[in-house]
Amino acid sequence: MHHSTVNGSSRLTFWSHVREFAVPASMIESATARRLAGDWSGACATARVDVDFTLRVLSRTRGKQFADLVRADLRHLAPDLLRWHFPRIRPDGVLRPGLTVSLARYRPPDGGDEVHLVARTPPAWADAGQRISLALWERSGALSRAGGHPHPRPDRRFRLDLHRHLWDARRTSELRERCGATQWPDDPGRSDARATHRWAAEAALLLRAEGRAGSAVVVRLGSRQRVVLDLDAPGITATPSRGCALPVLPDAATWVPPDLELWHAGAIDADRLHPLVRPALIPGYRPASAPRSPDSTGSSRLVDCRGALHRIGVVNGALVALDHEPDEIRREELLAALGGRSLPCLHAIDTTHRHPEDLVDIRARLDHGDVAGALAVVEGLLGPDALLLSGALRDELETAARRKVLHGLYRAELHDVRPLPSTKDYPRPGNRSRPRHAAFRRP
């Protein structure tokens, strides 16, 4: 999905970051294995997707025929692919918060209101873990409660019911045609990400799906830029007035998919593409075999220690200086505690505990909900038995834990709990433009 503030090389940088951290390869592998085994609920759990309804209750309340329609879609839902294509926002590329996206629409046999299978994201204050929830929505609200969700109604702009190839494993082969891969020019310098070559075809699909007799749709190009596309007239005809009732061309149809741009610009390797996206964009490509993990459990790092190169590395579960005797280490630690200058090896160990070089990657994994991946990086640096010292690394991990509690409160529908900004809520220069820390209070 495109965000209007991402343009040119900035857009490529943004999506390259998202593709690196947002959907880990381990998640894709696990979710795919469970989906292929017929365990759709296990696939959802692996991809951090919560299901807010049960098919048993749905069958009892709406009939087995209707429940079977929903079950068929759930069995072919690729939750990791849904996460791959879900709308995201700057600057961190996290899921767009407080959003309800329609995935499929059903007409009940009893002729009642149309029912939507929707995917929702929590509000920004409760987005720890970057979880997505699946629910059923109808206008009357009889099927399921939306809890404290700020926008429970399906969004007109962000909808995937007309783009099943972005989440339904049965339809992924349609991506090549729907994204216009054969029509989009092979131009790494191209900066216009608008999929204008597909607008007419996508607008026709939208009008048919909505049962509209007219020929015009609204195309949203930015927060304050909208135009009208009329299929019966050449090109763009007008700027819509406020409150225009015309259908809105989905965001997925308005912009070129980022994977197509990244691939043409050489900003992503084919092996890094989602395995359900890769064959559609690059037919006939055979992925390279996965590299084997080294047999060693860790590696040492070199430190310039008083004119000599010394090693620090993980031993018995903790990061230690390898080229100093225990008695020397104890003397140097005592000297440092009394205010003396620390041994360079000990200083390097202390810095790695408080502010490691990999902190940016750790922070990115935490932002995208990959706690397991972040902890794996920390354990690789410090060892599984390390005690974290006060500093930026411990702050990040503690913040992630506190924010996970907030998400739990949101899921428990404790609506009287609201985020309370703290002194740590200010954005980091050049990294975040919105608070990512939160405490809570009862008003």
Q: Are strands 115-120 and 132-137 parallel, antiparallel or unpaired?
A: antiparallel
Q: How many domains are contained in the chain?
A: 2
The parent domain of residue 334 ranges over 300-405
Residue 192 in domain: no
In this structure, are residues 119 and 62 in contact, taking their beta carbons and an 8 Å threshold? no
For the CA atoms of 118, 119, 124, 128, what is the dihedral angle to 10 degrees?
A: 150
Q: How far apart are CA 121 and CA 170, in angstroms?
A: 24
Q: How far apart are CA 138 and CA 118, in angstroms?
A: 10
User: Of 144, 171, 198, at which residue does a domain stop?
Assistant: 171
User: Of 149, 171, 193, at which residue does a domain stop?
Assistant: 171
pLDDT band at 434 (very low <50, low <70, confident <90, very high): very low
In this structure, are residues 179 and 256 in contact, taking their beta carbons and an 8 Å threshold? yes
Closest to 349 (Cα-Cα) out of 374, 376, 315: 315
Q: How far apart are CA 385 and CA 406, in angstroms?
A: 28
Q: How far apart are CA 242 and CA 305, in angstroms?
A: 68
User: Of 110, 145, 171, at which residue does a domain stop?
Assistant: 171
pLDDT band at 142 (very low <50, low <70, confident <90, very high): low
- Residue 415: is its pLDDT beyond 70? no
Residues 165 and 304 placed together within one structural domain of the fold: no
SS3 226: strand
pLDDT band at 50 (very low <50, low <70, confident <90, very high): very high
Residue 261 in domain: no
Residue 98 in domain: yes
Closest to 399 (Cα-Cα) out of 383, 388, 385, 414: 388
Average pLDDT of the residues in 330-346: 87
- Residue 143: is its pLDDT beyond 80? no
pLDDT band at 192 (very low <50, low <70, confident <90, very high): low
Average pLDDT of the residues in 86-91: 96
- Residue 307: is its pLDDT beyond 50? yes
Residue 390 in domain: yes
Q: How many residues does the chain have?
A: 443
At 204-250, the pLDDT tens digits run 999 999 999 889 999 998 888 889 999 988 667 667 766 678 999 99
Residue 73 in domain: yes
- Residue 252: is its pLDDT beyond 80? yes
- Poorest-confidence range of 132-141, 402-411, 417-426? 417-426
Residue 54 in domain: yes
Beta bridge partners, 320, equal 313
- pTM for this structure? 0.86
At 359-397, the pLDDT tens digits run 999 999 999 999 999 999 999 999 998 888 899 999 999
Residue 374 in domain: yes
